[in-house]
Structure 1
Amino acid sequence: MSLADKILQGDIRSAARLMRDIDDGMPSATEELKKLYPHTGRAYIIGITGPPGAGKSTLTDKVIEAYRHKGKTVAVVAIDPTSPFTGGAILGDRIRMNRHSSDDGVFIRSLGTRGHLGGLSNSTADIVNVFDAMGWEIIIVETVGVGQDEVEIVRTAHTSVVVSVPGLGDDIQAIKAGILEIGDVFAVNKADRPDADRTVRDLEVMIEMNHPPEGKWWPPVVKTIAARQDGIAELIDKIEAHHAHLVQSGELAHFEENKSATHFTELLKDALFRQVYSHLHADNRLAETIQAIARREVDPYSAVEQILQHSLKLDTE
């Protein structure tokens, strides 16, 4: 039996092995993903994002617990930053959720960013598809601590929960721009801190200024103290309300189209780059081209055009 066949039968070891192969960029993983893809599209994907120190991992831990009490199976993709110097990652998010390790209804997979920007790992979408094909009902993607423009989670998760926390200084600065636009639900965590009410008001003002069109989802703001499990039930209620809105409004189908377009485009870019790069290495043109650009014998724009023309010509011969 192939890995895909074993995964479809619920074999955890095979799933873990395929996820490792995906993260390592093994070509064999693609063939397994092709077999799994027709079985995807059933899971509900929740993204949890926000700045470092907001308590995302603790909140994720409590959300897992809440869904397990509802009888749902939960898979987690936890993204941790990778060192730009050593290439290593601590993968500390798994430590914070370790109490679920003996629960057969929970599967936690940690990933390093490996230099990929946007708050996710390059292999996140494929690993989510493995979980989905296996039949996990809820998939939680916890991003690395993100800034204003690291908002890839919105293209992966059906519901994006943006976690904020009082005491970050300029609260408006912390939540504006891209982060504000991607939030379907906002959680002000560590709400026992001073200025929690101010942070809630600031968020509500920003949402009001953004003013979602009539009939669109209006993002709610929930106060939570994840360490004490305060506010978690309300947070789950808002997540499920957003899910219901997506289904009833027809936006869920639109989301799936956009998600498919993004995934296809990323795969196409990666495949084209690998193909062109292999041609450059095969005929030793890469070093020659870089040296010519450095000597100003050719500009980089013309060099790219020439390489593309040469590569496409090779492919049609």
Structure 2
Amino acid sequence: MIDELIERMLKGDKRATARLITLVENDEEKAREIVKKIYPYTGDAYIVGITGPPGSGKSTLVDKLIKKARDEGKIVGVIAVDPTSPFTGGALLGDRIRMQRHSTDQGVFIRSMATRGSLGGLAKATNDAIKILDAYGCDVIFVETVGVGQIEVDIVKTADTVVLVTVPGLGDDIQAIKAGLMEIADIFVVNKADKEGAEATMFELELMLDLEKEKWEKKGWRPPVISTVAFTNKGIDQLWEAINKHKAFLMESGEIEKKRKFRVEEEIKAIVSSTIARKIGEMMEDNEIARLIDKIVNRELDPYSAADLVLEKALGVKV
């Protein structure tokens, strides 16, 4: 079945592509099999991460960026990561509604994915879904994160260009950005710039960037701050131009290779961690875990020593 789906996907079959993404979401073993088989067909897509707090207009911006990419004849993939429904385990918000006008376009593939408890703003299977869309033939893939605040940093392990979206009137939003997200953004967007306070937000971002002027000069890229009103298309041309300029910078400077090597390293670590955790779960009997827990509670054993014992049994080597 998987071989047939992959063959159809490589020929541009949307239904087969959707089915493959569903498989990597729901079955880790099938995900491994699929990625191993499609990996030689990946590596051509450019990945743009769109992150920021809930309500900042990320989905509307993505909708407008899809059109810009399609106007240039690019095949576009979109992964919109949403919170998980407590009833079905599926994506709760369904950001595809905002991008409905592209649903009949054969050059656009849009998929909502549920976080299913994953932190960092991304679904666990996002990387595998990206690989499927890459092999499917997408030139650019937009990954819109769930919008969970300061922990939403996993996007830097996934995207080539990270666009951080904020809006005026979020209270002390700039401090929230500074406390983690500031480091990951390649482009800043102040969306809904027709609201009161937009100029002040722009000024604060520019000021924060000025404070690290030496860092940007050494890096060779200072993140631009772009004002947009996505609903009316204001600033969309400038944002698309900034994304393309950042891509050109990465290609010309060789930073793209560094970014992708970092991404592969992080992915290997995540796969190894997930595999070990799964094997431990399969190998350790409930009563063994219970005995270890009792020993820790009774101060007969510390958590680190207990973890060493578990790993020793799972891996077959002394830690």
Name the TM-score, length of structure 2 as normaliser: 0.93
Equivalent position amino acid for 1:262 in 2:
E
**Structure-1 residue corresponding to 2:257:** 253
Alpha-carbon distance in structure 2 between the residues aligned to 1:128 and 1:297 = 46
**Structure-1 residue corresponding to 2:50:** 48
Residue 83 of structure 1: how far off its partner (Å): 4.8
Determine if the alignment matches structure 1 residue 303 to structure 2 residue 300: no
| Cα contact 1:149–1:177 (8 A) shared by 2 | no
Alpha-carbon distance in structure 2 between the residues aligned to 1:35 and 1:86 = 30
CA RMSD of aligned residues (A): 1.8
Deviations 1:247-299 (A, max 9, x none): 00010111110011011110111011111221103x84223322333343322
When structure 1 is superposed on structure 2, of 250-259 and 82-91 the one drifting more is: 82-91
**Which aligned pairs between 1:1-317 and structure 2 lie closer than 5 A?**
1-83=3-85, 87=89, 89-211=91-213, 212-281=216-285, 284-313=287-316
Residue 86 of structure 1: how far off its partner (Å): 7.3
Alpha-carbon distance in structure 1 between the residues aligned to 2:134 and 2:230 = 27
Residue 78 of structure 1: how far off its partner (Å): 0.1
Alpha-carbon distance in structure 2 between the residues aligned to 1:224 and 1:311 = 52
Alpha-carbon distance in structure 2 between the residues aligned to 1:20 and 1:84 = 18
| Cα contact 1:49–1:146 (8 A) shared by 2 | no
Alpha-carbon distance in structure 2 between the residues aligned to 1:2 and 1:28 = 14
Superposition misfits of 4+ residues, deviation over 6 angstroms: none
**Percentage of matched positions with identical amino acids:** 50
Name the TM-score, length of structure 1 as normaliser: 0.94
Equivalent position amino acid for 2:277 in 1:
F
Residue 243 of structure 1: how far off its partner (Å): 0.3
- Please, which runs of 5 or more residues in structure 1 have no aligned partner? none
Residue 30 of structure 1: how far off its partner (Å): 1.4
Equivalent position amino acid for 2:315 in 1:
L
Residue 170 of structure 1: how far off its partner (Å): 2.0
Residue 31 of structure 1: how far off its partner (Å): 1.0
Alpha-carbon distance in structure 2 between the residues aligned to 1:312 and 1:253 = 33
Label 1:6 to 1:203 Cα distance change in 2 as closer, same or farther (>3 A).
Answer: same
| Cα contact 1:79–1:91 (8 A) shared by 2 | no
When structure 1 is superposed on structure 2, of 294-303 and 218-227 the one drifting more is: 294-303
The number of residues matched between the two structures is 314
